[in-house]
Structures are given as C-alpha cells and as structure tokens.
A and B are shown apart, each in its own frame.
Chain A
Amino acid sequence: MTTERVSGVALALLAGIVLEECWRLRLPLGTLANPGPAYMPALLALVLLGAGVLIVTLGRDTTPLAAVRWQEWRHTLAILAACAFVALALERLGYRFTMALACAFLLGVVERKGPVATVLFAVGMAAGTYYLFDTLLRVQLPRGPFGL
C-alpha cells in the first residue's frame, strides 16, 4: 500500500460522503442552466472522485505507507488534547484559568520542565496576554467563575 493509494481512496471516500450528504440533506441539485445549492458541492465531489481514482491508478510506485514516520505522535496527541481542553473550557473556566492550565500541561507534563519555570510561564502567559488584549486593547475575552 502506498501513500498515494491511501490518499486517493480517502479522496474518493470523501467525495462519496459529500454526495451522500447532498442527498440526505435534500439539497436541490437544480439544473445545468439553473444550479441549485447542491450543484457546486456535487460537481466538486465528482472532481474529487475523479482525482481520487486517478491518484489511486497512478500511485502504484510511490512512497510505501510504512515508510511514513510517525515518531511525533505522542506530542501531537498531547497538543491536541490541550487544544481540545481549551476549546471546551474557554467559555466555562474563563480565558486566564484555561490558558494557564493548558500551558502548564504542555510545559510541565509534555516538555517536563521544572515546576518553577512551568508555573511562571503558564501564569505569565495567561495573565500577560489577558492584560494586553482584554485590559489594554479591550478585546473581550471570556471570564470564568469569580470573574477570573
């Protein structure tokens, strides 16, 4: 299995999903002369399908999937977890608390920096950016419990 073939199949699958969704959402296709809201998505899905098939067909002798290196996956997962936490907590816990926790996690747990550096960076980053944007520049950032 090569990377090209995997991506070609993925593109074809995506095209199938788009076409299926156009049908499921009952979006009118319209006509060639009077395109409806499903016209362009369907047309683009067909382009993707064609591209996917061509990529699969032509992608026999390209990089094997096994040759792709994923050595950073632990960091990637940790960063994604931090991002997901921020997205979930931002409007519940407030900007400062959420960002401080996310930074502390990334620095202390993922990067294994010392507790002093971690706390200083996390609190400084959260409070500093809040002061700059919310207080000085008046960009409203979410506050959490107790106005934090």
Chain B
Amino acid sequence: MLETLGNLALGFSVALSPPILLYAFVGCVVGTLVGVLPGVGPLAGISLLLPATFGLDATRAIVMLAGIYYGAMYGGSTTSILMRIPGEAASVMTCIDGYAMARKGRGGAALAIAAVGSYIAGTVSVIGLMFLAPPLAAFALRFGPPEYLALLLLGLLVLAYMSSGSMLKSMAMAAFGLLLGMVGIDQMSGYFRFAYGVVELGDGLGVVPVAVGLFGVAEILATAGQAAPPAVIKPRLRELLPSRLEWRQSSAPIARGTVLGFLVGILPGSAHVISSFVSYAVEKRLSRRPEEFGHGAVAGVAGPESANNSATSGAMVPMLALGVPSGPIPAVMLAAMMVHGVSPGPLLIQQQPALFWGFIASMYVGNVVLLILNLPLVGLFVNILRVPYPFLYPAILVFSILGVYAVNGSVVDVWIMVVMGVLGWLLRKLDFETAPIVLGVVLAPMIELSLRQSLAMSDGHYGIFVQRPIAAVLLAVGLTLVLMNLYTFARRGLDWRARMAMAERGEDSS
C-alpha cells in the first residue's frame, strides 16, 4: 500500500510537470473532438494521430495517445445524446436514452450525467487499475479458450436479450455479424474465405469501416433528405444541472457501470463496446420500470457511459501488466508504445517506473481535465454540431471517409463503409438493430479460434465446455437468458421487449 502510494507520488511528479500536463491536455481536447465528430472514433483517432507523436519522447507520446483514447470515450456521448449519432461504437447505447432525454428537453442533464458518470468511473477504475491489476490479471489468466468462447457467446446472448425488439432478430443480426467477421484468411488453415480475390479482404473486414458505415453513413442516408432533418438539440448551460431525481436515478447505475466496465475491460474483446451493451442490459433488467428504457431512462445513459469509461482503464490492465492487448484500441496503443521503444509487460513497472506511474497519474489528471472540458465547455463542443445540417452532413461524410481510409490507407475500406451504410439504412427500415452486427464482426475471429483451440485441447470432445467451471457457469447464464426468452414467448406470446417495441410503433399490444 505504502509502496503503491510512493510510486503514485513519483507518477504525479511526472504527470504534473508542465510538458506532460500540456500533452495530456492536448490529448484530451483532441480526443474529445475525435469523440464528438461522428464516424471518427478512438481507434481511427489514435491511428490518425500516431504519426504526430513520432517526434515526442515516449512518456509524452503515450500520455497524449491515452488522452485521445479516454477523451474520445467522453466526447462520444455528445453526438449520441444531441444527434443520435454515436461518436464512437461504445456510445451506441447512449444514443437510445440520451437522445430520448434530449428530445424531452433534458439533453443538458444527459450530458452532465454522462460526464460526471465518466469522471467517477474513470477515476475509480484507475484506482482499480492501480490496486487490483495483479489479482485481476491473474484471474483473467485462468481463462483458457473454453472460457473465452463461453464469455464471448454470453456477450452476444446478453446483447440479443436486452434488445428492445425481438431477441430472434437480434440473434440473427449477431449471426450475420459473425459471418461478416469470417471474411478473410482463416487463422488456423490459411484458406481465403469470401474474399473473392480482393487482397485487402485477407485481413478481414475492419471494425472501423463496418461501424462507421452502419452507424455514421446509415444515419446520414436516413436523415439527409428528410423535410425536417434532425436538428442538433442545443442545451443551454443552465440546463446542464440534472434534477435531484435524476442524480438519484443515476447514482446506482454509475456505481454498477464502473465496476462492471472495469471487470469487462480487463477481459479480451472490444471491452468498452461490450461493457456499455452489458451495462445497458443490466440496468434494464434491474429497473422497476423497464418500459422507460428507450424513452429517456436516466439509467440508460449513466450506466453505459460509466461502463465504457471504466473499461478504458480495465483494458489497460492486461496491456500494461502482461503486454497483451485486450482489443483493437489497446492493440494500437501497444503498437504505439513499441514504436517509442517501450515494451509493455511484467518488467515495465520495474524498468521504467517513471513512465508507468506517470502514465497512471496522467489518467487521474486527464479525468479532471475531461470533466472541466465536458461540463462548462460542452456548449463550445456543441457549436461544431450547430452548423446547419446541409453543411454538417457532407463534413461528417468527409471525416468518415478520411477516418476509414487513414486506418489502412485502403479504398477497399471506403467501399466497405459505403456498403455497410446502405445495409444499415435498409435494416433500419426493416426494424432491425445493427449494434449486434458490429459486435459480431469484432468477436467472430476470437469465437472461431477459441472453439477450435478448445476442441484441439479436448481431442474433439464438446464436454470441455461443461467440465470447466467458469465456462460452464458462463454458458449456463447464457442458456438461462435464452430459456427465459422462450418461456415468456410460450406463456404470453409477447414478452416485455416485444410489447415495448409495439408500443414504440404505437400499436396495441394487449
């Protein structure tokens, strides 16, 4: 404990030095802008700005990139709440209730709850990262392929279960996403699958073009031609203060989201995306009025926003302690650290304590900077979105294309984005959710690899998934969700989610 505090003091002496403070601030501002701009998420933002750090020393570069990462997580909520366009994939869930709150005139309160929730989650999770990293990392190390497969399947089932429409349709979308994730070279056999001679498809469909297409471009396609395009809801500064009831409604979801986000964050996968999905599902299930979700439930903003920011710190645990990235963004961060001659892993803390603890301390500082940026300056950031829509959507399109192109420097990614945009637009017309597709694309390679590794471990016996306790428990939870859904369907024909979907369409569900 004393040693940790001593190390943290060393970290603060590094993080509070003017040059580091400046780069943390620049990273947070740029990250918030990256998050605010729809279509340019943290992955594209970090990838885009990585070359800009080549001239800096390792500590400054890493502090700035980390600032961009969690700045984007903060900023992503702004467009989600005010425009129903997620700034990045983890903000998808915030769109649902955040935008509904904004339409009720509570956009400012939603932004404040998201910012405060993100601040609390960010700060608490850094404490978690500091004190709990070793035992939590040790627990995650007990996960073998069967446990990973069970966890990933559970993530998809939870996502399908919590959808406001039909679980069947959400599962179909998840399966479709998994199929899209199968495009490219098979990791085990080397076979090209569904690539049709396009070399760039060998590495599979990128998450960035798929997410930007399904959410950014599809939104533009659906709204650009409307007689009254979606106005950017403009909260005034005095509207930023949530009511006492809203604070009360958000406190427990923030606490749950923080813990859940951190725990999900340390496990492999697209942690901040999964954590926000799972948090939304948990809040919906725990709510006494689940029918409010989708119509401006405070918990639907507080939980997911806290969870995705908490997951940002959680994702750093395996990356810093083990040198193992838990998702695409930590992978880019890892690459960035290696570019600067830093090798994350067990020896990092011993060999470069100033860098490690300076990085940890800069996360505390960054959270304070972001709270300052996101509350009083939200009006300033929102001004970007106050540009008339006929000017705004071409600009969003330019940033979307730029962000998608810059990740790999490939026009194929631009085509993928366009195709996904059309698909997302059509699926919206047919009342399908598109979030499970993105999750499916992210998880597909991991699910397939885990399945095949598990079977290789067990000589082809599927019993391995029920013989190992962690995997068995995770699968049992997933099966319970499916059975609960079947039960409500068999008993009444419609469960609360189906009735809610009908109510949204203004139909009588009685």
A residues within 8 Å of B by Cβ?
3, 6-7, 11, 14, 18, 21, 25, 27-28, 31-38, 40-41, 44-45, 47-48, 51-52, 54-55, 58, 63, 68, 70-76, 79-80, 82-84, 86-87, 90-91, 99, 102-103, 106-107, 111, 113, 121, 125-126, 129, 133, 136-141
What are 30 A-B pairs at a CB distance below 8 A?
Answer: A7-B430, A11-B172, A14-B176, A21-B194, A25-B193, A31-B460, A35-B451, A36-B189, A37-B186, A37-B188, A41-B179, A44-B175, A44-B179, A48-B176, A48-B179, A51-B171, A51-B172, A55-B172, A68-B430, A72-B221, A72-B222, A73-B225, A79-B393, A80-B422, A83-B417, A99-B401, A103-B398, A138-B54, A139-B51, A141-B406
- Kindly specify which of B77-85, B241-249, B408-416 makes contact with the partner chain: B408-416
- Chain B residues contacting A47 (CB-CB under 8 Å) are 171-172, 175
Fill in one digit per residue for B210-243: 1 if any A CB lies within 8 Å of its CB, else 0: 0000000100111111110000000000000000
Given contacts A72-B224, A82-B397, contact A63 B505 (CB under 8 A): yes
State which of A40, A68, A79 has its C-beta within 8 Å of the C-beta of B429.
A68
Q: Is the CB of A83 within 8 A of B217?
A: yes
Whether a CB of chain A sits under 8 angstroms from the CB of B18 is no
State which of B52, B179, B224, B452 has its C-beta within 8 Å of the C-beta of A79.
B224
Number of cross-chain contacts by CB at 8 Å: 168
A146–B429 Cα distance when bound, in Å, is 44
Q: Is the CB of A137 within 8 A of B390?
A: no
Q: Give the residue among B227, B401, B409, B414 with the most A Cβ atoms within 10 A.
A: B401
A37–B169 Cα distance when bound, in Å, is 26
Q: Which residue of A lies closest to B448 (CB)?
A: A40
Nearest 8 A-B pairs (CB), nearest first? A33-B460, A75-B225, A72-B225, A51-B172, A37-B186, A111-B390, A37-B191, A138-B51
CB of B54 to closest CB in A, whole Å: 8
CB of B320 to closest CB in A, whole Å: 26
Taking A27-B191, A48-B175 as given, write out 19 further A-B residue pairs in contact, using a Cβ cutoff of 8 Å, ordered by the A residue number. Answer: A3-B429, A11-B176, A18-B179, A25-B193, A32-B460, A33-B461, A34-B455, A34-B456, A40-B451, A48-B179, A54-B168, A72-B226, A80-B221, A87-B414, A90-B414, A91-B411, A99-B401, A121-B391, A126-B398
> Does more than half of chain B's interface fall in helix, strand or loop, or is it mixed?
helix
Q: Is the CB of A63 within 8 A of B414?
A: no
Q: Is the CB of B431 within 8 A of A86?
A: no
CB of A19 to closest CB in B, whole Å: 11
- Chain A residues contacting B134 (CB-CB under 8 Å) are none
Total interface residues in chain B, CB < 8 Å: 67
A122–B434 Cα distance when bound, in Å, is 32
Q: Is the CB of A80 within 8 A of B418?
A: yes
B residues within 8 Å of A by Cβ?
48-49, 51-52, 54, 168-169, 171-172, 175-176, 178-179, 182, 186, 188-189, 191-194, 217, 220-227, 390-391, 393-395, 397-399, 401-402, 405-406, 409, 411, 414-415, 417-418, 421-422, 425, 429-432, 444, 447-448, 451-452, 455-456, 459-462, 505
- Chain B residues contacting A83 (CB-CB under 8 Å) are 217, 397, 401, 414, 417-418, 421
CB of B448 to closest CB in A, whole Å: 5
A98–B178 Cα distance when bound, in Å, is 34
State which of A21, A44, A80 has its C-beta within 8 Å of the C-beta of B178.
A44
- Chain A residues contacting B405 (CB-CB under 8 Å) are 90, 141
Q: Which residue of A lies closest to B440 (CB)?
A: A44
Q: Is the CB of B394 within 8 A of A107?
A: yes
- Chain A residues contacting B462 (CB-CB under 8 Å) are 32
Q: Is the CB of B391 within 8 A of A107?
A: yes
Given contacts A48-B172, A111-B390, contact A3 B191 (CB under 8 A): no
A97–B9 Cα distance when bound, in Å, is 52
State which of B390, B429, B430 has its C-beta within 8 Å of the C-beta of A107.
B390
A111–B54 Cα distance when bound, in Å, is 41
